[in-house]
Amino acid sequence: MISITFPDGAVRNYEKGITPLAIAESLSRSLAEKVLAAEINGKVCDATQPIRSDASLRLLTWNDKEGQMTFWHSTAHLMAEAIEKKFPGAKFWVGPPIENPKGFYYDVDLGDRKISEEDLAELENIMKELSKQKNPYIRKEMSKKEAVAYYTEKGDEYKLDLLQHLNDGEITFYTQGNFTDLCRGPHIPHTGLIKAIKLTNIAGAYWKGDEKNKQLTRIYGVSFPSQKELDEHLQMLEEAKKRDHRKLGKELGIYTMDEDVGPGLIMWLPNGSVIIEELEKLAKETEQKAGYKRVVTPHLAKESMYLTSGHLPYYADSMFPPMEIDGEKYYLKAMNCPHHHKIFASSPRSYRDLPLRLAEYGTVYRYEQSGELFGLMRVRCMHMNDAHIYCTREQFNEEFRAVNEMYLKYFKIFGIEKYVMRLSLHAPEKLGIKYVNEPELWIETENMVRQVLKESGIPYVEVPDEAAFYGPKIDVQIFSVIGREFTLATNQVDFSQGRRFGLHYTTADNTTDTPIIIHRAPLGTHERFIGFLLEHYAGKFPLWLSPVQVKILPISDKFLPYAKEIHEKLLLVGIRSETDERNEKIGKKIRDAELAKVPYMIITGEKEISENKISVRKRGKGDLGSQSVEEFIKILLKEIEERTAD
RNA sequence: GCCGUUGUAGCUCAGUGGUAGAGCACUUCCUUGGUAAGGAAGAGGUCGUGAGUUCAAUUCUCAUCAACGGCUCCA
């Protein structure tokens, strides 16, 4: 007998070699039907794996993340079985479950054959048939020699490549129905549990993620234990699409693009420009209080400066090609740093001048590959909330911490809670290639940044090989509604550029030293930040950011003069007001103002004129009753001044 | 840049080998109406661009541009 400890602390005794599935059955029949996998002593494995000694056990169902991942992984195998049936001889790479978007994919080499959208429906049907067979997922261990022989016979170079990195004792195969795959598992008990399947799309994916390699066909899908859950999931995706910043950006008149202007080049419409102005106002206020100095720099610079900075030739692929004037090459700037460094260098600096904080909403141009462009999130011309802080080594911690606090202050204003702080580190093996070759400086600055993060108590993750070439950084990662991950803001350390530009200051003991530079962009770029805000607020901007803050809706055109009077009063105190002068009924005007997501509506008619008041309606909340214009203005100005969340 | 899909009116989308439609928006008229769509009439497109096949192309083929779903990459 062995004793099994359950998550609630209960201990029960079972026969040696019992499976988690059998234990579930001993507890309840309905539970056994839901078990997808099991966690034995903290390790996720098959629910059909025998337990041979005392252990702690957690039965995993659809309600557990691990249960879902196992479920999707098993569905990927089921899809592979269907693909093999429809495309005999197809070779498989890997087929993992994924969290964002939910589901799974499998990378396949179909040879010369092509797969189309119509084939997906057919594959789905094959999968449903196979699911009905309730085929068990059977685990089998194999020696490396056997496994290599198996795939050599099959002529499968992909699985042979996978095998290279595995050793005897860690090679397992799983078989369900007629499909066998090299796989570490775990898997669900049988295919019958997969009741609802949707294959979502076909994409190309480079083998091993390297664009020099052959491109495999990647098929994405998602599955659920019931049709109802699949329907709900698809419904949710539809809802998410409604708050896609590209859709909202068009509907709300935020921005536009034009083929004649060029891909990735945003034109901000009046409504979008208001948001830009408000964001810049916030940044300027905040930075002014934090001791920043504003500068303005040109959009171009000569080749020589980018050779100095090191951006050329290494960054050349991301820059627009140069233009030649008077025998000199000029580049559109892809970053503001070199210009700011030149400003630092423009006059002798003393330690008394530090920290020097130079800020600019700088326009930069990057030649992003055409396929990478994405609405406002990825563009070729962007406006960056940039600043460079030149400080001594002693000042670094405090400066870096202050920048982090600025981030948190901003995030509070915008109610940004779903983000990941990522400490991006270098990779030692890429020193001198991707990163400046200063091993001890890397370690030192990374420790400095880590210390600041630890002291501030901000949760973060460390990720190697994500640093800038000149130093470690903190990235703020967010997700778009369709699940794509982006860096919203960045805070970078730079111990290299200062030296390259020959920047120095006189120290207290009359020697010279090179400043450490902090590159920071807490509001990222206007493009990405507003794209993010559109989705974050679902287009319902708080009052202070709303392009139109108040819409005045006269009951009929008899009351237009009174509406105009109120409109003038609002404009006078700086409230962005518009009047709906159309010959429409009040219901229609309200509907349109609500759809335009205007925060406040003022309704004026006979009653209001006689009482010398206005009727106020709030977006999403309805009628607030009547009040005087002066009272209303006072409330709004306070809400705007305090940048209230909504 | 690569793999795949798409491209028809300002927007959302039907449709056809014989030079095109709907709803909303827009204009005009009727209506002057109290908290999410009043009625009528009208105006709008060389069907992304270029070439080919054909008596005839918006429709079929090819190229090209752009957008979209991914990969790679990134603020």
Q: What is the structure's pLDDT at A390?
A: 97
Q: What is the structure's pLDDT at A185?
A: 82
Q: Name which CATH class applies to A66-240.
A: alpha beta
E-assigned strands of A275-355?
Answer: 293-294, 300-302, 323-325, 328-332, 349-350
Q: What is the structure's pLDDT at A37?
A: 94
Across all strands, nucleotide nearest A250 (CA–C1'): B11
- Quote the crossing angle between the two packed helices A65-86 and A117-132, to the nearest 10°: 110
Q: How far is the CA of A642 from the C1' of B66 (A)?
A: 43
Share of residues in chain A with pLDDT > 90 (%): 74
Q: Which residue has the higher pLDDT, A166 or A513?
A: A513
Does the bond joining A464 to the residue before it have cis omega, within 30 degrees of 0?
no
Q: What is the structure's pLDDT at A527?
A: 95
> Which residue matches tokens 């290279």?
A164
Q: What is the structure's pLDDT at A314?
A: 78
Q: Which residue has the higher pLDDT, A191 or A485?
A: A191
Q: Is the pLDDT of residue A519 over 80?
A: yes
Q: What is the structure's pLDDT at A239?
A: 85
Q: How far is the CA of A583 from the C1' of B39 (A)?
A: 13
Report d(CA A465, CA A442) in Å as an integer: 12
Residues in a beta bridge with A217: A108, A204
For range A504-520, the mean pLDDT: 96
For range A223-235, the mean pLDDT: 91
Please write the tens of the pLDDT for every residue from A546-558. Answer: 999 999 999 999 9
Q: How far is the CA of A549 from the C1' of B5 (A)?
A: 40
Average pLDDT, chain A: 92
DSSP result, A379-441: -SEEEEEEEEEEE-HHHHHHHHHHHHHHHHHHHHHHT--S-EEEEE---GGGBTTTB-S-HHH
Please report which helix (H) or strand (E) contains residue A109, including its range: strand A103-109
Fold of A543-641: Rossmann fold (3.40.50)
Q: Is the pLDDT of residue A118 over 90?
A: no
Q: Is the CB of A618 under 7 A from strand B?
A: no
Determine whether domain A2-61 maps to CATH 3.10.20.30: yes
Q: Is the pLDDT of residue A212 over 90?
A: no
Q: Is the CB of A371 under 7 A from strand B?
A: yes
Q: How confident is the model at residue A394 (pLDDT cuts 50, 70, 90)?
A: very high
Among 3.30.930.10, 2.40.50.100, 1.10.1060.10, 3.40.1830.10, what is the CATH number of A255-536? 3.30.930.10
Name the residue closest to the C1' of B49 by its CA.
A259
| Count of other CB atoms within 10 angstroms of residue A41 | 13
E-assigned strands of A111-236?
Answer: 138-141, 172-176, 179-182, 196-206, 215-224
* Pairing mode of beta strands A103-109, A97-98: antiparallel
Report d(CA A293, CA A344) in Å as an integer: 12
List the structure tokens of A529. 């930040």
Name the residue closest to the C1' of B5 by its CA.
A117
Q: What is the structure's pLDDT at A312?
A: 86
Look at residues A645, A630, A491 and name the one whose alpha carbon lies nearest to residue A570. A630
Q: What is the structure's pLDDT at A305?
A: 94
| Count of other CB atoms within 10 angstroms of residue A76 | 26
Q: What is the structure's pLDDT at A413?
A: 95
Please report which helix (H) or strand (E) contains residue A590, including its range: helix A586-595
Q: What is the structure's pLDDT at A238?
A: 85
Q: What is the structure's pLDDT at A490?
A: 92
For A39, A96, A539, the CA distances from A6, given in Å and listed in that order, are 10, 29, 47
Q: What is the structure's pLDDT at A209?
A: 87
List the structure tokens of A354. 């530090």
Q: What is the structure's pLDDT at A456?
A: 81
Helices of type H across A87-224: 117-132, 144-154, 157-164
Report d(CA A528, CA A374) in Å as an integer: 10
Q: What is the structure's pLDDT at A504?
A: 95
The domain segmentation of chain A, as residue ranges, is 2-61, 66-240, 255-536, 543-641
Report d(CA A484, CA A477) in Å as an integer: 10
Q: Is the pLDDT of residue A426 over 80?
A: yes
Q: Is the CB of A362 under 7 A from strand B?
A: no
- Classify burial at A563, counting beta carbons within 10 Å of its beta carbon; exposed 0-12, middle 13-18, buried 19 or more: buried
Q: How far is the CA of A248 from the C1' of B12 (A)?
A: 14
Q: Which residue has the higher pLDDT, A419 or A389?
A: A389
Please write the tens of the pLDDT for every residue from A458-489. Answer: 889 999 888 988 899 999 988 877 777 889 99
Of chain A residues 544-563, which have a beta carbon within 7 Å of strand B?
Answer: 555-558
Please write the tens of the pLDDT for every residue from A279-333. Answer: 999 999 999 999 999 999 999 999 999 999 888 877 888 999 999 999 999 999 9
For range A356-381, the mean pLDDT: 94
Report d(CA A318, CA A637) in Å as an integer: 44
Q: What is the structure's pLDDT at A536?
A: 92
